[in-house]
Structure 1
């Protein structure tokens, strides 16, 4: 969960002095490392599953990471509330490093999944760190520049991360993609931690104005356990596993109630519908991305490097879509945001359809690039448009809580999509049938989002 904080603690406390430059450098390095790992893992997963004979647990490699990252973000917030930012940062960095080492040295797929789970606990805390640090350690005038720097830190990993990881795996091994990041993490750690050791008074003042993360810890743990039961129940062939999956679904719906606004699952107007749209898009496009490299490798014979190029093309187009959306905002100030969002979501559904048809061998292989360009362009425009509409639908004082909800729905839905896709890969033969069903489920989510977007207002953000 994002720990974005209330934007105006200075109303009661002096503005913090400008943080040391080393803190900013450390934050950027940490964001880049987490971003590279996030973009790289999906590309090398076909090789990991093959080397460790772990195709049955393929979906868990992504789901374990994502679900534990949600819990890790909340737990790091609890620790920061009690001990300050420095201890939480140390714990998150240590967990992420341990997870990288366990995953990179794993001799079996269960151990690899365990490493991904540990990694996720650390990544959740590190993902929330920039919001908390920027709010408590930087004056208001410096925050836009730091937020822009954090966003830019994702750019290079998005563009070249999949390609670099696939080349390393093809030419050497997939293992350095994991443990090779540990030295960089050791370099970034002191740059982040040392400036945070001096606890700043604005930390407590800011936390007092935000929803208590301690109250969200048990729901987050329940969400992780319930989603895990649902995924594992679907993965196993035993009849009793359906009961486990059903109980997991019920638990998931109950655990989600304290974390999200009422009406989320029925797409109620306003914020619930906007969060649901974000979740459906994440389930559809980002979820399909967790098994796309494996499908391209197994069904179309594409090398890991070839699959890395596909993902890098998508990353570049997503970035371009975000830039286009920003230009539209600058020109029209949100007047046509709902209209452009509708078009973008239709583009996502079309792009996913083209990608699926090409991957399944129905259309030529080059069409997968067209599909990725269409889908990622739609995601770049539509995803940001939905987020801006959501921010416009709540008071400024609730922006911190909303940022957490936006992050949580994305993490949850991608984890579910990866888990369901992995369950189909484990149970359905031949593989062509498994991938057909997996693409069909994600495409259904994309079409549902596109249809639901038709009810967004045209002239103004909701």
Structure 2
């Protein structure tokens, strides 16, 4: 099957016959394309690099006991910003959000980069997280309004590359900056790039407008957004503390999350309703499975097979390259059915995770991790881009914000839950090999489930 083309509103978006390269880099959109990719690049670099610098940050601020709080603050603010940003963009269009969020993000970088206390650092992280969440939604709304449907796969390929590049160079660059200069410049050094990205985006987005009434009402949205932020953060924390307190926290998180998700996610997500419900579910499944595996693969290789940290990072690097290559490839084939690519992506992800089951035993061939995780990365490049395309394809312009927010919340919640499950298994089972074998089995099952559900996303 092939998805029909739906008209969208924006700057020349109705010209669906326009070649993808001209649609992205023609005179009317070149600066907007570069600006959106650069905004994504800066946000991704901050996300990938801060973890490397954080030990130095915490030591300098004499706050070792609060090590997890900068990450928790960013996550909670990001969920809140995602949900409220979705409503904002649906009501007012993406223009204001794309003009305001880079400024708030830059302010967060300055506040964190000049921090002399943990309190100031946390304020900076909240500003960064909230603006990053809203900006993510605004970028999708702008894509729906500005770019022809046929050119979107190519743009999603560029945006994927904007996430992959920082995953390769972010940690070493952040380490170099921290060692040679100061951790402060891991934050402050990004501010000029935000300014450049904003200058490029402004000419393109200033003409955008809202293209219809917002989807639904905003009643209860703030409470649901706060519940989702607290719930996702609590799930993440409980996974790192598999004791009685962690169990109580997990139960409390569910009590908050369930009503919040009923408000924030489209009806039908949990039983595979056709269209948007399955697209949102697919986003949660594909992100959760991949990032959970990605989080624990280095531990498998170091704890079970004695690899160095550098060597254990090789499968992650080649998976990132596979993701970028597959995403670029699908961008050059806009006529391929996206539901087929989504199904193939989930299938490749299932094969890659299943391959790691051969690696977890001490007697297993550790080298299999490299080709297996490369296959998983290719699956992400195909599947994640397909989900992004289908999300916009099924949405009217005035629904893109809420649908994107729902997909992002599903992504964050599933990832936090599966990563937390891995942490709990490591704490209660005898060896890392046993714990991670137990974790990989449901990951394979979830990837297969995603492949089975993929046709319902069309």
Instruction: Give the TM-score, by structure 1 length.
Output: 0.72
**Hey, what does 1:133 align to over in structure 2?**
142
- Whether 2:38 is the aligned partner of 1:34: answer no
Evaluate the alpha carbon distance shift between residue 321 and residue 187 of structure 1 in structure 2; reply closer, same or farther with a 3 A threshold.
closer
Of the three residues 254, 267, 273, the one matched with 1:249 is 254
Moved more, 28-37 or 171-180: 171-180
Moved more, 79-88 or 340-349: 79-88
Evaluate the alpha carbon distance shift between residue 233 and residue 411 of structure 1 in structure 2; reply closer, same or farther with a 3 A threshold.
closer
**Hey, what does 2:161 align to over in structure 1?**
155
Per-residue CA deviations over 1:79-107 (Å, capped at 9, x if unaligned) read 55777755534542233234434555667
Looking at structure 2, the residues matched to 104 and 325 of structure 1 have their Cα atoms a distance apart, in angstroms, of: 38
**Hey, what does 1:231 align to over in structure 2?**
236
Per-residue CA deviations over 1:99-143 (Å, capped at 9, x if unaligned) read 43455566788876664443211111222232333455x4x65x7
Per-residue CA deviations over 1:291-325 (Å, capped at 9, x if unaligned) read 5557767774634x556554332111112333555
Moved more, 73-82 or 252-261: 73-82
Displacement of 1:396 after TM fit? 5.8
Displacement of 1:257 after TM fit? 0.8
Looking at structure 2, the residues matched to 25 and 256 of structure 1 have their Cα atoms a distance apart, in angstroms, of: 34
Of the three residues 278, 284, 288, the one matched with 2:289 is 284
Q: Aligned pairs, how many?
A: 436
Contact 2:157 2:327 in 1 (8 A): no
Looking at structure 1, the residues matched to 154 and 234 of structure 2 have their Cα atoms a distance apart, in angstroms, of: 38
Alpha-carbon RMSD across the aligned residues, in angstroms, is: 4.7
Residue 208 of structure 1: SS of its match in structure 2? coil
**Hey, what does 1:450 align to over in structure 2?**
447
Displacement of 1:368 after TM fit? 3.2
Residue 264 of structure 2: SS of its match in structure 1? coil
Per-residue CA deviations over 1:148-167 (Å, capped at 9, x if unaligned) read 44641441551464235325
State how 1:52-91 maps to structure 2 within 5 Å: 64-79=73-88, 85=94, 87-91=96-100
- Whether 2:189 is the aligned partner of 1:183: answer no
Contact 2:239 2:246 in 1 (8 A): yes
**Hey, what does 1:3 align to over in structure 2?**
none
Looking at structure 2, the residues matched to 53 and 298 of structure 1 have their Cα atoms a distance apart, in angstroms, of: 30
**What are the ranges of 5 or more consecutive residues in structure 1 without an aligned counterpart?**
1-5
Residue 254 of structure 2: SS of its match in structure 1? helix
Evaluate the alpha carbon distance shift between residue 63 and residue 449 of structure 1 in structure 2; reply closer, same or farther with a 3 A threshold.
farther
Displacement of 1:32 after TM fit? 1.9
Displacement of 1:248 after TM fit? 0.9
Per-residue CA deviations over 1:140-188 (Å, capped at 9, x if unaligned) read 65x7658744641441551464235325415853834433212212333
**What are the ranges of 5 or more consecutive residues in structure 2 without an aligned counterpart?**
1-5, 16-26
Evaluate the alpha carbon distance shift between residue 279 and residue 181 of structure 1 in structure 2; reply closer, same or farther with a 3 A threshold.
same
Looking at structure 1, the residues matched to 377 and 116 of structure 2 have their Cα atoms a distance apart, in angstroms, of: 35
Displacement of 1:451 after TM fit? 4.0
Instruction: Give the TM-score, by structure 2 length.
Output: 0.73
Displacement of 1:212 after TM fit? 5.2
**Hey, what does 2:377 align to over in structure 1?**
376
